[in-house]
Chain A
Amino acid sequence: MKIPRTKALALLAAITLGLPMTVQAQTQLVVAQSAEPVGLDAARNSLQASLNVALNIQETLFTPLENGNVGPGLADSWKFSDGTTLRVKLKPGLTFHNGEPIDAEAVKYSFERLLNPVLKSPHAGRMEQISSVKVIDPLTVEFKTNAPFAPILHLMSYYLTIVPPKATAATDPDAFNRKPIGAGPYVVESWQRGGDVVLKAFDKYWAGKPAYDRVIIRAIPEESARVAAFVTGEVDIVEGMSVQSQRVIEKSGKGVLTDSMGVMPYIGLNTNKPPFNDQRVRQAVNFGIDRASIKKALFNDRGLLTPGPISPRTFGADLSLKPYAYDVAKAKQLLSDAGFPNGFDTTLSYPTNMTQIQEQAQALAADLAKIGVRAKLQPLDRAIMFQKYKNREQDMYIYWWDDSPEPDRYMYSLFHSKSRDYYYKNADTDALLDKGRSTLDRDSREKIYNQIDRKLYQEAPWVFLYVIPETYAVSTKVSFNGRRDGIMYLRYAKPKN
């Protein structure tokens, strides 16, 4: 009661005496996303728009770094005492937004909650490798994995958010999903579904109070409306922009562009049946694509060409590999050697929800036609696309993955036969991928992924294309950089001057 009264007195004094108020103005940051969050509890949401908000409210043990490694978060230090035992030491004296202490019990509770089938957490599968969690002392937790599993720290740094046991247990999960309590840099002030998420800075955040006192996260689904809101200064950071919008923003002088997570499209080839069961045919289509020209024409030359399946920005990519050259004669020769001197007819399907996909598909098909591969375009709604993909109904298909900083994320998912074997299955690749995830030493790991990259480059189960960065526009008044993982960690945003 004391503080409001003094404030009121100060206000009264200021008004009656005509003195300027000395209270410093609050700093506020407004962010526009293309989609609205479904919920704010990170444990229950996997969509980007939701995690972008949730991971500002909830905190994990480790801070994900741009190179795929992790730094300290709620955890102060950690160590693998053997291949399958990870000991984590928490920072002392930390509390959640509601004042509950952050201790080993809270970590154990959070992990068990995530795995509880009742919660239906989309991240439960990502924690599959952890068999148990033990409280050693109030600040020490021990995780056991089934087998040595290198990506575990990376996964935990995003998906194992630590929640306060008492408050969480006492709150209805749906209510918690609307207004979660965590240990992140921001506290939920209000959220009306469909409207703004309003966050305020958490004074006791372990890395210090964030620069902005208030953050508003707004969903503006229509791209031109998003750009308009940015140009008029209603919002400071905008996500989700086509090349055209990027030009509008650059011309307006109101902001700068910053790259975040890359989208890595590829053409998958059905290696189970002719014609793509022949490595020569697969290499031929790789030689037949003029990637550099497509990247220039469609993406304003932003982005990188990818030689093999691992993004050149990701640890493990073999940087000595050169992208397949654009060589029509060589492509035709290879097709002819494989018994297709006159080329062949095939189909190229793609989901319509990708960025600039129609233009890409047309450009790719045009290049393919020049070497005699006559691909009929099949644009599909994304759910139907996925169904056909799973049912092995496709010959050539365009899909994409984020160029995650951790190679296991997509390499295991897309090439290991235990994850999916729809169009490619290879026992040697499986063995290498298993070795890649079970080797804890980073240097040895890198060599394994180099080997996988080279092997798949040669086998060419995909037509390797490019990485196109997703782009944010950031107001000239704000300092903020997009991240490799694509998550908007707003604690890194600061006012300029």
Chain B
Amino acid sequence: MLRYFLGRLGQTVLVLICISMVSFVFLRLTGDPAGLVLPQDATMDQMAAMRIQMGLDKALPMQYLQYLGHVLQGDLGRSIYSQEPVTGLIMERMPATMELAVVSMLAALAVAVPIGIVSALYRGTLMDNASMFFALVGISMPHFWLGIMLVMLFSVELGWLPTSGRGGWQHMILPATTLGLSLVALFARLVRSSMLEVLGQDYVRTARAKGASQLAVVGKHALRNALIPIVTVIGMQFGLLLGGTVIIETVFAWPGVGRLIVQAVMDRDYPVVQAAVMFLAAIFVLVNLVVDMLYIWLDPAISYHRGQA
């Protein structure tokens, strides 16, 4: 177990180094930031001086090695514009992003699991079909469009909720709904199919034969087993959710990391983009690691000892 964990941890570090390299190279292929940092009336001499100051005059591999050296010392660099350490810039926005992602995820689960169970139990009925239709619609709607439509309806037409920004719980409803809706759809379908599979298993039939109530069968026997695949997907979706916040945060002016990335990309603020990508990638990879560990806890049949199936 420990050995497996350490192995996975090693993999994680390797993945992060690869990501850093890829993002470093690609970002620098997209143009020269020196001209963008200076005001537009800067002269050629001023621009040349800025390139040297920013270290852009050195060869790309040298720039990368220098960067990596700093990263290993815990220095992810400073924003080109505000000249502040990027770690601070990201960390101060992380709570907003995590808040949005976690609330969306929990809300989505709270809605999706019951829908999935009901659909599975009443398979083929009108209720099942209606839920699955709703799920399909939820998956198909692009975040961006959905967000704007919700604002139009609930803020502009009805005047119930604020259009944007972060403040009280009212501010949370629209962005979390937008972000969570596609997850509801995804999870509901997954819970349904997983439940259907489990409900057909021998042990469920046995439980029923022994006269256990519907509630006991579903709650005690079926659900826990049906949730195993869901946990994996939650892990993967959480990473995607963080990515999704890039769009949602822009639409709803939510002061999180996603919006920081968007603005930093626009401004070509390399160190910020780079560090933010690394942060999100690290969270993604770590969540997946945790999920794999959870997996073992949920299903003792899965084990990672060598020589065992």
Contact = CB atoms under 8 A, between A and B. Distances in A.
Nearest to A404: B41
B43 A195 contact: no
Contact of A222 (B30, B53, B250): B250
Contacts of B268: 383
A58 B252 CA distance: 30
Interface stretch (A227-235, A273-281, A460-468): A227-235
A409 B41 contact: yes
B120 interface: no
A174 B44 contact: no
B164 A401 contact: no
B165 A196 contact: yes
B32 A418 contact: no
B156 A232 contact: yes
Nearest to B41: A413
Contact of B163 (A120, A123, A126, A229): A229
Interface string B122-164: 0000000000000000000000000010011001100100111
Interface in B8-32: 30-32
B45 to A, nearest CB: 8
Contact of B43 (A35, A125, A228): A125
B156 A225 contact: no
Nearest to A194: B255
Contacts of A192: 92, 255
B260 interface: yes
Contact of A234 (B33, B162, B267): B162
A419 B44 contact: yes
Interface string A204-225: 0000000000000011111011
A402 to B, nearest CB: 9
B79 A224 contact: no
Contact of A46 (B39, B155, B163, B253): B39
A229 B32 CA distance: 36
Contacts of B255: 192-195
B221 interface: no
A339 to B, nearest CB: 33
A401 B40 contact: yes
B251 interface: yes
Contacts of A222: 148, 164, 250-253
A47 B267 contact: yes
A38 B82 contact: yes
A359 interface: no
A195 B159 CA distance: 22
Interface string A252-273: 0000000000000000000000
Given A222-B253, A228-B156, A231-B156, A193 B163 contact: no
Given A219-B253, A225-B163, A381 B30 contact: yes
Name, among A221, A231, A381, A421, the residue most crowded by chain B CB atoms within 10 Å (CB to CB): A221
B263 A126 contact: no
B223 interface: no
Nearest to B264: A38
Contacts of A224: 148, 151
B163 A234 contact: yes
A45 interface: yes
B92 A193 contact: yes
B256 A125 contact: no
B44 A420 contact: yes
Interface string B39-51: 1111110100000
Contact of B38 (A39, A125, A173, A174): A125
Contact of B89 (A126, A193, A387, A410): A193
A122 interface: yes
Interface in B45-75: 46, 53
A455 B262 CA distance: 43
Contacts of B36: 382-383, 386
B43 A418 contact: yes
Nearest to B85: A174
A36 B41 CA distance: 22
B250 A193 contact: no
A438 interface: no
B253 A122 contact: no
A384 B152 CA distance: 36
A384 B31 CA distance: 4
B96 interface: yes
Given A36-B263, A387-B32, A390-B35, A195 B166 contact: yes
Given A221-B263, A401-B40, A413-B41, A383 B31 contact: yes
A401 B41 CA distance: 10
B192 interface: no
B42 to A, nearest CB: 6
B163 A194 contact: no
Contacts of A95: none
B308 interface: no
Name, among A35, A45, A229, A384, the residue most crowded by chain B CB atoms within 10 Å (CB to CB): A229
Contacts of B30: 381, 383-384
A451 interface: no
Contacts of B33: 383
Contact of A413 (B40, B152, B163): B40
B257 to A, nearest CB: 9
Interface in B164-201: 164-166
Contacts of A171: none
Interface string A85-97: 0000000000000
21 contacts: A45-B81, A46-B38, A125-B46, A177-B83, A193-B93, A193-B255, A194-B259, A195-B255, A196-B165, A218-B165, A220-B164, A228-B152, A231-B156, A383-B30, A384-B31, A385-B31, A390-B35, A401-B40, A409-B41, A419-B43, A420-B44
Given A221-B250, A383-B32, 15 more contacts: A46-B38, A122-B37, A125-B38, A126-B39, A174-B84, A194-B255, A194-B260, A195-B255, A220-B165, A222-B251, A222-B252, A224-B148, A231-B156, A232-B159, A387-B32
CB-CB nearest 6 A-B residue pairs: A383-B31, A194-B255, A220-B253, A413-B41, A38-B81, A228-B163
